[in-house]
Amino acid sequence: MIVNESQQSTETISKPLGRTVSSAQVAEKFITPVIQEEVFQAQKETPKRVICVAVDDSPQSQHALTWTLDHLASANDQVCILNVRPYAIPGYILGGSFTGTAPGEFYPTASYDYNEDYVESLERYNRDTSHDLLRKYGEQVLERGVQCRAIALRGDPREEILAKVNVLKPDMLVTGCRGLGFLQKAFKGSLSDYLVQHAECVVVVPKMNA
């Protein structure tokens, strides 16, 4: 049998690399499990106060942490840094919604095939990026002589941070203030607004250039 170059090229490109998994399998492995990873904890004694700081890689988050160290935290306190990484494959791409009875339980309403190796590489990249960010911020806290704890979460930042804060019960929560476009505010709202309205502790939102 003779196979021309164009046919051989097409077959090579269309051949999947690695095992394919369904939307339901992606949801079960990469979305439904609750992620709460303790990246590090440097604590000498029981802290007088616990101050949570929600961060991402934005200048506003860096400002929030710096402001916390300049104006709030002392050597007797613990700064607990929280970062929420996104899902490897967002729920809206899977074509489903969080309609389960358990927190974070996800049910895809459509079925697609995904390359498992690719999804795992995305998850690994998101995890490593989150951990590196937390270590970077954690070093800044330790340089000030303040006790530090860093926790990596995964999912919707509003829901995950709120849930973790309600468990930790800190004395206060600090988060940056990011400007959002009209559509973002209309459909989702800002993280800081959400936390101010729903958190059980005092929420501080330091503005940049204030």
Q: What pLDDT does 96 receive?
A: 47
Residue type, 129: T
pLDDT band at 151 (very low <50, low <70, confident <90, very high): very high
Q: What does pLDDT average to over the chain?
A: 78
The mean pLDDT value for 12-41 works out to 63
- Exposure letters 53-89 (e unless 16+ CB within 10 A, then b): bbbbeeebbbbbbebbbeebbeeebbbbbbbbbebbb
pLDDT at 3 over 50: no
Whether the Cβ atoms of residue 15 and residue 45 lie closer than 8 Å to each other: no
pLDDT band at 142 (very low <50, low <70, confident <90, very high): very high
The tokens for 105 are 């339980």
Percent pLDDT > 70 in the chain is: 67
Enumerate the domain spans of the chain: 17-204
Q: What pLDDT does 16 receive?
A: 45
pLDDT band at 35 (very low <50, low <70, confident <90, very high): confident
If one looks up domain 17-204 in CATH, what number appears? 3.40.50.620
Digit-coded pLDDT (tens) for 90-109: 655 555 444 444 444 444 45
138-143-145 Cα angle (round to 5): 100
